[in-house]
Amino acid sequence: MEKTILITGGAGFIGSHVVRWFVTHYPQYQILNLDLLTYAGNLENLTDIEHQPNYRFIKGDITDEAFIQQLFTQYQIDAVIHLAAESHVDRSIMDPLAFVRTNVLGTAVLLNACRRHWDMNLEKHLFYQVSTDEVYGSLGPTGYFSEHSRYDPRSPYAASKAGADHLVRAYFHTYQLPVVISNCSNNYGPYQFPEKLIPLVIRNIQQNKPIPVYGKGENVRDWLWVEDHVRAIDLIFHHGKRGETYTIGGNNEWKNIDLVKLICRLMDEKLGRPPGSSERLITFVKDRAGHDQRYAIDASRIRQELGWEPSVSFEEGISRTIDWYLSHQEWLEHVTSGTYQQYYEQQYVIR
Ligand code: NAD
Ligand code: TDX
């Protein structure tokens, strides 16, 4: 094998798309998928590639220092693509320490293993930190986040990702560890856990349950098809400048309420229900604490320097996403059984 890449969080939403992409596009790379299989991690996301000869799954915790050190001793790991994280803002409001532990400590443990085991060969090694636009805080009606934006995280999730990003940069400056960071906007597509807005709305419409819209639904997000994020990760992994940052976004801003209404209309059509049936399920609920008003990304650097651009229009992507959820009922039932039910009741019923 040409090189061995450790992908963390590969059983989650974006991670599973990254693993599939690298396993199928780069048979010359050995792909190790390290994941703790928390509520958000599911090996069913990868059944189509699990028998590929260049793929191996390893169950483990990125915060377990002895285990991570041993992993780096056992395998000659050349590069890390780090996605493992606690990723849901509402959960970070309920239980912030879990986010500090996984996102800050977990990233530090991985960086430290790289520092101990790598010879700082800039060509050979890379620690790739997959991060979020939420580290930049909240925008008003105008303007965009870019690589030059000031960090201003406002949720425990965003602050924990910001802390991790700072550690990555500190390891670059202090130890010359070869690193790169990308900060991406909201992803959507198949295999997203149904605590996140788009799959939650699809599922609730299907089950004729209320659609919870926080506040007045005026908050804006910039949505990107998950595989377009993966294509960006591939380009940055292979051609990104060491020590630098790339912001990634779909140039596709939607107010939550408009997005929810779009999904309602498409669901009515796809389920053969009379127009307006799904919209009647929209229920305005108490706003998220510290709810960021607007995210929007200026992705001109990655477009100009690496030639990246989104390949899937939002109309196409959202329609494909709905079709995927409607045809993957068994997957949906598996991931929503058990503890998800408790979370859902705490988040939407009890408060
Ligand atoms: P996800 O919650 O779907 O997946 C996270 C994965 O990490 C799960 O498989 C989980 O089992 C694993 N994990 C959690 N704790 C772990 C631990 N201690 N050790 C090992 N594995 C652990 O998340 P996602 O939405 O796919 O996001 C992946 C990454 O991309 C995160 O770092 C997130 O911050 C970042 N990101 C997400 C978005 C988005 O819109 N979802 C946008 C930008 C950046
Ligand atoms: O039930 C809901 N009702 C609602 O109005 C949920 C779950 C969300 N919302 C709103 C909150 C946000 O304004 O919809 C918007 C999107 O919410 P989420 O899907 O929870 O995403 P967000 O908080 O924007 O964060 C996401 O994008 C950045 C990911 O979860 C993060 O991991 C990523 O870093």
Tell me the longest C-alpha to C-alpha distance in the chain.
Answer: 64
- Cα–Cα distance measured from residue 18 to residue 226, given in angstroms and rounded to the nearest whole number: 9
User: Which own/partner contact pairs does 59-66 have at CB distance under 8 Å and 24+ positions apart?
Assistant: 59/35, 60/34, 60/35, 60/36, 61/36, 61/106, 62/8, 62/34, 62/36, 62/102, 62/106, 62/107, 62/109, 62/110, 63/101, 63/102, 63/105, 63/106, 63/109, 64/109, 65/109, 65/112
pLDDT band at 26 (very low <50, low <70, confident <90, very high): very high
Please say if the pLDDT value at position 22 is more than 80. yes
- Cα–Cα distance measured from residue 294 to residue 116, given in angstroms and rounded to the nearest whole number: 40
Say yes or no: CB of residue 89 within 6 Å of ligand 2.
yes
Enumerate domains of the chain plus CATH numbers: 3-188+223-248 (3.40.50.720)
Say yes or no: CB of residue 134 within 6 Å of ligand 2.
yes
Pair 227, 16: CB distance under 8 Å: no
Of the listed ranges 96-100, 263-267, 346-350, the least confidently predicted one is 346-350
For residue 151, which amino acid is it?
A: Y
pLDDT over 90 for what percent of the chain? 94
Q: What angle do CA 266, 272, 277 make, to 5 degrees?
A: 70
Tell me the pLDDT of the chain averaged across its residues.
96
Pair 197, 187: CB distance under 8 Å: no
Distance 269 CA to ligand 1 centre (A): 32
pLDDT band at 340 (very low <50, low <70, confident <90, very high): confident
Say yes or no: CB of residue 214 within 6 Å of ligand 2.
yes
- pLDDT tens by residue, 30-55: 999 999 999 999 999 999 999 999 99
Pair 232, 302: CB distance under 8 Å: yes
Question: Which uninterrupted H or E stretch holds 114?
Answer: helix 106-117
Between the two ends of the chain, the Cα-to-Cα distance in Å is 53
Distance 172 CA to ligand 2 centre (A): 31
- Cα–Cα distance measured from residue 96 to residue 59, given in angstroms and rounded to the nearest whole number: 24
- Cα–Cα distance measured from residue 189 to residue 43, given in angstroms and rounded to the nearest whole number: 17
- What mean pLDDT do residues 51-62 have? 97
For 230-243, letters b (16+ CB in 10 Å) and e give: bbbbbbbbeebeeb
Please say if the pLDDT value at position 349 is more than 80. no
Please say if the pLDDT value at position 187 is more than 70. yes
Query: For residue 102, what pLDDT is reported?
Result: 98
Number of H helices, E strands in the chain: 13, 12
- What mean pLDDT do residues 233-250 have? 97
- Show which residues are catalytic: 133-134, 157
Please say if the pLDDT value at position 351 is more than 60. no
Q: Residue 297 gets which letter from DSSP?
A: B
pLDDT over 70 for what percent of the chain? 99
Which ligand has its closest atom nearest to the C-alpha of 103? 1
Residue whose CA lies nearest to ligand 1 atom number 1:
12
Pair 328, 190: CB distance under 8 Å: yes
- Quick one: which atom of ligand 1 is closest to the CA of 193? 3
pLDDT band at 119 (very low <50, low <70, confident <90, very high): confident
- Cα–Cα distance measured from residue 274 to residue 292, given in angstroms and rounded to the nearest whole number: 34
- What mean pLDDT do residues 223-244 have? 98
Most ligand 2 atoms within 8 A of CB, residue of 196, 247, 255, 286 to mutate: 196
pLDDT band at 305 (very low <50, low <70, confident <90, very high): very high
Query: For residue 270, what pLDDT is reported?
Result: 97
Q: Dump strand ranges (E) for the chain.
A: 3-8, 29-35, 55-59, 79-82, 126-132, 179-184, 186-188, 211-214, 220-225, 245-248, 253-255, 282-285
Structure tokens of 32? 């190790």
Query: For residue 343, what pLDDT is reported?
Result: 86
Distance 275 CA to ligand 1 centre (A): 36
